């Protein structure tokens, strides 16, 4: 078969979708030697596309490429598929945040894309892949597609996410991002409302122990609100915001952390949680949406809307060495259940069956 994959998300500074796509195409190369793969990216625009550029890419250039290369199966690993193509279509829908939390999208065109355009075009797919049972329920309910048309295939952390015993390298990477020689808890993710960063800050304002919070994620329009909250809580000396972290450096920041905090309000999967567990770092996360599927009983799970509960969880991890060690061991064991080889094999099975 001639299989085309949209890899536009891997250009520029990749985020979760870009890493998913990179890991998927690299893992497919190791499990499939029989099919021919064609990778499509937009040479007119690089990096992050705005909404109008994305629609032009999907419905114009990507559609043309599928005809030009005579593609049998076109896999769009995120966003919307082209409406006009003769290829069988597989679309990965990681979540429906745009429909569930429209306030997370700041512009009119973004709200239109996620709320109207994407749901309409995704129904054109022959098969929808998603990352969790929770997301499958959302897709069936909100997009009104048959349950048999949606397949859950879990993601994995990259093979580089593992415990690292290299204090000098960890210290070097910490220095690169302005993190001096002190204990810190870590948050990793885009700076946006659904990540619930304001609750972390408010809980952190009650911490009296000598430990800092590192917020590692690309800045956005919402960053001003985050920085204002840090200032209002007199935490400028206690919280460090690093902006975008190079993927090669991220594993060292995980390994340098005392624990990881991720009280997200909505996730389709929650890859940073799995990355932290793969590094043996204790995790505090939400007991809502997809996150319990990822953690099982290997993390502290809390109500993300309960700041008291979040504070108490943070405080317990700061003070309890045994708890941190137990969660580290449980997290490593749980993370071993996920692998990109397994993800690639299940995706290849989907290609063969549509």
Do 194 and 122 share a structural domain? no
Asked if residue 317 is part of any domain, the answer here is: yes
Asked if the structure places residue 203 within a domain, the reply is yes
| Cβ neighbours around 306 below 10 Å, total | 14
pLDDT at residue number 306: 98
Buried b (16+ CB within 10 A) or exposed e, 244-258: ebeeebbbbbbbbbe
User: Does position 103 have pLDDT exceeding 70, yes or no?
Assistant: no
Q: Residue 275 belongs to what domain range?
A: 167-335
Confidence of residue 46 (pLDDT cuts 50, 70, 90): low
Compute CA distances 215 → 26, 195, 257, whole Å.
Answer: 29, 11, 12
120-179 pLDDT, tens digit each: 899 899 999 999 999 999 999 999 999 999 999 999 998 899 999 999 999 999 999 999
Number of structural domains, the chain? 2
Mean pLDDT rounded to a whole number for the chain: 93
Do 171 and 258 fall into the same domain? yes
135 and 185 housed in the same domain: no
Q: Enter the tokens of residue 82.
A: 């082209």
Query: Both 133 and 43 in a single domain?
Result: yes
Residues 73 and 190 in one domain: no
Q: Are residues 151 and 34 part of one domain?
A: yes
* Band (287; pLDDT cuts 50, 70, 90): very high
Strand partners, 92: 129
Report, as an integer, the average pLDDT of 210-220. 91
Split at pLDDT 50, 70, 90, the class of 302 is very high
At 24 the pLDDT is 96
Structural domain contains residue 78: yes
In this predicted structure, the answer to whether residue 105 has a pLDDT above a threshold of 60 is no
**DSSP category for residue 194:** G
Residue 161 lies in a domain: no
Amino acid 87: pLDDT: 97
| Highest-pLDDT range among 4-18, 43-57, 207-221, 327-341 | 327-341
Q: What is the pLDDT of residue 10?
A: 87
Do residues 42 and 145 both lie within one domain?
A: yes
CA distance 289 to 274: 15
The more confidently predicted of residues 223 and 305 is 305
The whole-number pLDDT of residue 217 equals 86
Are both 181 and 259 inside the same structural domain? yes
pTM for this predicted structure:
0.91
Cβ-proximal residues to 263 (8 Å cutoff; 6+ apart), any chain: 196, 199, 200, 284, 285, 286, 302, 304, 310
Contact call for residues 291 and 264 (beta carbons, < 8 A): yes
| Cα angle for residues 52, 54, 59 (degrees, 5° grid) | 100
- Do the domain assignments include residue 101? yes
Average pLDDT over residues 274-300: 97
Residues 128 and 204 in one domain: no
Q: Is 134 within the bounds of a domain?
A: yes
Same-domain pairing of 106 and 9: yes
Verify that 303 and 192 share a domain, yes or no. yes
- Residue 349 inside a domain? The answer is yes
Decide if 162 is inside a domain: no
Q: What is the CATH number of the domain that holds 109?
A: 3.40.50.2000
Q: Are residues 38 and 108 in the same domain?
A: yes
User: Per this entry, what is the length of the chain?
Assistant: 354
């Amino acid at each position: 078969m001639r299989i085309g994959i949209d890899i536009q998300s891997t250009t520029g500074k990749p985020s979760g979708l870009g890493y998913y796509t990179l890991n998927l195409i690299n893992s497919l190369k190791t499990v499939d030697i029989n099919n021919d793969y064609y990778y499509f990216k937009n040479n007119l625009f690089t990096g992050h596309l705005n909404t109008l550029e994305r629609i032009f890419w999907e419905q114009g250039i990507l559609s043309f490429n599928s005809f030009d290369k005579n593609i049998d199966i076109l896999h769009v690993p995120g966003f919307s598929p082209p409406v006009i193509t003769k290829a069988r279509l597989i679309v990965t829908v990681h979540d429906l945040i745009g429909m569930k939390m429209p306030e997370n999208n700041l512009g009119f065109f973004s709200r239109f894309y996620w709320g109207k355009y994407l749901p309409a075009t995704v129904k054109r797919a022959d098969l929808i892949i998603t990352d969790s049972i929770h997301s499958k329920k959302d897709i069936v309910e909100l997009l009104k597609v048959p349950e048999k048309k949606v397949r859950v295939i879990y993601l994995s952390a990259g093979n580089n996410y593992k415990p690292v015993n290299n204090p000098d390298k960890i210290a070097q990477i910490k220095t690169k991002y302005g993190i001096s020689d002190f204990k810190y808890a870590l948050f990793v993710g885009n700076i946006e409302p659904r990540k619930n960063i304001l609750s972390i800050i408010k809980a952190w304002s009650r911490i009296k122990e000598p430990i800092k919070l590192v917020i590692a994620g690309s800045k956005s329009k919402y960053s001003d609100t985050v920085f204002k909250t840090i200032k209002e809580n007199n935490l400028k000396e206690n919280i460090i915001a690093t902006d975008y972290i190079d993927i090669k450096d991220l594993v060292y920041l995980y390994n340098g952390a005392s624990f990881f905090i991720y009280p997200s309000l909505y996730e389709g999967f929650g890859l940073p949680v799995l990355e932290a567990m793969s590094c043996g770092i204790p995790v505090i996360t939400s007991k809502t949406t997809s996150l319990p599927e990822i953690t099982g009983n290997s993390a502290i799970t809390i109500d993300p809307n309960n700041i008291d509960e979040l504070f108490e969880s943070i405080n317990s991890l700061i003070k309890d060495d045994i708890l941190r060690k137990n969660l580290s061991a449980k997290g490593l064991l749980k993370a071993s259940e996920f692998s990109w080889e397994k993800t690639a094999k299940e995706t290849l099975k989907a290609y063969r069956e549509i």
